[in-house]
Amino acid sequence: MNASPIPPCRIATERLVLRPTNVSDAERAFEIQSDWEVTRMLRMVSFPPDGAEISHWFADHEREWMAGEAYRFAVELQDRLIGIVDVDGISGREGELGYWFERASWGRGYALEAAQAVVQFAFSRIGLSKLRSGHAADNPASGKVLRKLGFRPLDSVRAVSRSRGQEIMQQRYSLLTPNHCQTSRESGVG
């Protein structure tokens, strides 16, 4: 793990630019989350979206980054924010990968391209050795992205979806860094 703060950085992929989020992204995020097809797949956010809550969330991102608690990237295509990819829930050498994109940009491989860059950032810059992620059982597109990233399905659990206001089945996954030394528990031995 990196002991000192990671300086805020931009990542350029073939088609996209990823940069640390900031409070001025809140308005665009509100716009994207106003689409039920996006927000129904996000377990922790409300629908309709709450502008004040979103602003408050973005306002804390710089502090989270410097504290090593979470690293959140705005994904830009030709200077337009089309989605967010983040690693949060960091504890020890583990963290959780999340992402959401505006509907207009789905189906062009942007989520995979951006998430690949963030997975690499998580292992090589943050120094994590394991990432967790998950998706609602009725979100096969997200499952495809996770599998292409190399995530392995773990199990399926009941979880509360705030946006839907009901319980859903959540498929959980994990990804170990290629040089991770598996403990007996992770490998299912013992």
Q: Which residues bind ligand COA (CB under 6 A)?
A: 38, 41-42, 99-101, 106-112, 135, 139-142, 144-145
Minimum CB distance to ligand COA, residue 172 (Å): 11
Report the residue number, 37 or 181, with the smaller CB distance to ligand COA: 37
Report the residue number, 129 or 161, with the smaller CB distance to ligand COA: 161
Minimum CB distance to ligand COA, residue 118 (Å): 12
Residue 156 structure tokens: 């399926």
Strand partners of residue 72: 86
Minimum CB distance to ligand COA, residue 91 (Å): 20
Strand partners of residue 83: 75, 101
Cis omega (within 30 of 0) on the bond before 140?
no
Report the residue number, 44 or 189, with the smaller CB distance to ligand COA: 44
Report the residue number, 29 or 42, with the smaller CB distance to ligand COA: 42
Report the residue number, 145 or 176, with the smaller CB distance to ligand COA: 145
Displacement of CA 147 from its chain's centroid (Å): 14
Minimum CB distance to ligand COA, residue 187 (Å): 26
Minimum CB distance to ligand COA, residue 69 (Å): 20
The rounded distance, in Å, linking the Cα atoms of 22 and 84 is 11
Helix 110-121 crosses helix 140-149 at what angle (to 10 degrees)?
Answer: 40
The rounded distance, in Å, linking the Cα atoms of 127 and 121 is 8
Q: Are 172 and 137 in contact (CB under 8 A)?
A: no
